[in-house]
Amino acid sequence: MGRVAVLGEAVRVQGYALAGAVPIVAESPTEVLRAWSDLADDVVLVVLTPAAANALGDTARTPPGALLCVEMPT
């Protein structure tokens, strides 16, 4: 079983830790791209904030391997 990560701005991701997800704070597009490339191998689902999804562009729509990606509503 893999882990769930939530990637994006601190104010939008930190609360997900209470549900057992791994919050990954990335405030700028550069930080989002760096965090995306550094995802742990055991992450199977990434929930993206709208800003993070925008920063990733098509990369988030076609994640590598068995990784699933969803964008949270605005």
Q: What's the pLDDT at 64?
A: 73
Domains of the chain: 3-71 (3.40.50.10580)
Cα–Cα distance, 22 to 50 (Å, whole number): 17
pLDDT mean by block of 10 residues, the chain; 74 residues = 95 97 98 95 95 91 82 92
| pTM of the predicted structure, to 2 decimals | 0.92
Count Cβ neighbours within 10 Å for each residue of 50-66 and write b for 16 or more, e otherwise: ebbbebbeeebeeeeee
